[in-house]
A = this chain, B = another copy of it.
Amino acid sequence: MLGKVTATTVATQTIEGANGVCYAYRRFGNASDVPLVLFQHFTGTLDFWDPALLDALAAEREIIIFNNTGVASTSGTTPSTVQQMARDALTFIDALTLNKIDVLGFSLGGFIAQDIALLRPHLVRRLILAGTAPQGGPGLHGWRQDIYDATHADNPGAGTLLYIMFKQTPTSQAKGNEYLGRFMERKDRDAPGTLATRDAQYDAVVEWGIPDHNKLARLAAITQPTFVANGDADYMCPTRLTHLMGGLIPNAQVKIYPDAGHGFLWQHHGEFAADVNAFLAS
């Protein structure tokens, strides 16, 4: 449709939070009572969200993507704990004067989303946890060596994204290349993330993964209807931890997408968007 705002064309806006941070965000889609706020993965910026996924979600609701404190075009210094990232995200949400939201958290964004749901349960109507893991979950204490090496190359390229986000099968890698094409469509690009952001975020990831069986009991307090989803071969947040969240969150539904890794939601963008839209409408 001529003139329709899409993920590729929507303008980037900024808003200052009570903490003095100037948050960069994009907001578009069809008006809905409750907007969907999306929380981005480790080292991701506004541009890393798959435009095809965003457009399919925005067809049925208003969506908001943002850079948290210190990330890319948002000012400030990236904190090194998930807890502070959650408080910073709440400052952004407060600046927008939102009092009821749906939340989609992907990977590190899913860690933050869990803390948001626990810190301010009355804010969150429904929750989607994609390719993520609970605090203290087994097998999460830092990434396996090849993923660590790939994510900590100082000049990561497209090959890095393909390696860490997609399964090591020809079909998944081909879907990854399609994602990269969509990823590059936007002209008005976000600022790149910095190595300081990467390192602070990885500190947060590792702390979150310190094994702690008792902390798993936190999930019992996430009482919102929750959709937990992942690929069948997530190398970053192991797929078993998606099952674990589905088992401990009282009102969760679980879906595992075939032939897919951490970036299952890019690979299966159409099916995942339809599942999310159905879940949020149910």
Q: In whole angstroms, what is the CA distance A250 to B248 when docked?
A: 16
Q: Which residues of B contact A141 (CB under 8 A)?
A: none
Q: In whole angstroms, what is the CA distance A108 to B275 when docked?
A: 34
Question: Which of A66-74, A154-162, A214-222 contacts the other chain?
Answer: A214-222
Given A213-B214, A214-B213, A217-B213, decide whether A247 and B244 contact each other with a Cβ distance below 8 A.
yes
Q: In whole angstroms, what is the CA distance A247 to B243 when docked?
A: 5
Given A213-B214, A213-B216, A214-B213, decide whether A138 and B240 contact each other with a Cβ distance below 8 A.
no
**Chain multiplicity (copies):** 2
Q: Which residues of B contact A110 (CB under 8 A)?
A: none
Does any Cβ of B come within 8 Å of A260's Cβ? no
- Which of A198-243 touch B at CB < 8 Å? 213-214, 216-217, 220, 240-243
User: Measured between C-beta atoms, what is the minimum distance from A140 to chain B in Å?
Assistant: 11
Contact of A248 (CB < 8 Å), options: B217, B242, B244, B256: B244
**8 pairs from A and B in contact (CB 8 Å cutoff):** A138-B250, A214-B214, A241-B247, A243-B244, A243-B246, A243-B254, A244-B247, A246-B247
- Which of A104-132 touch B at CB < 8 Å? none
- Which of A162-199 touch B at CB < 8 Å? none
Q: Which residues of A are at the interface with B, using a C-beta cutoff of 8 A?
A: 137-139, 213-214, 216-217, 220, 240-248, 250, 252, 254, 256
Considering residues A139, A247, A250, which has the most beta carbons from chain B within 10 angstroms of its beta carbon? A247
Given A213-B214, A214-B213, decide whether A138 and B243 contact each other with a Cβ distance below 8 A.
no
User: Which B-chain residue is minimally distant from A254 (CB atoms)?
Assistant: B243
Given A213-B214, A213-B217, decide whether A240 and B246 contact each other with a Cβ distance below 8 A.
yes
Q: In whole angstroms, what is the CA distance A242 to B240 when docked?
A: 12
Contact of A138 (CB < 8 Å), options: B214, B220, B246: B220
User: Measured between C-beta atoms, what is the minimum distance from A253 to chain B in Å?
Assistant: 9
Q: Which residues of B contact A139 (CB under 8 A)?
A: 250
Q: In whole angstroms, what is the CA distance A244 to B245 when docked?
A: 7
Q: Which residues of B contact A250 (CB under 8 A)?
A: 138-139
Q: Which residues of B contact A256 (CB under 8 A)?
A: 254
User: Which B-chain residue is minimally distant from A252 (CB atoms)?
Assistant: B240
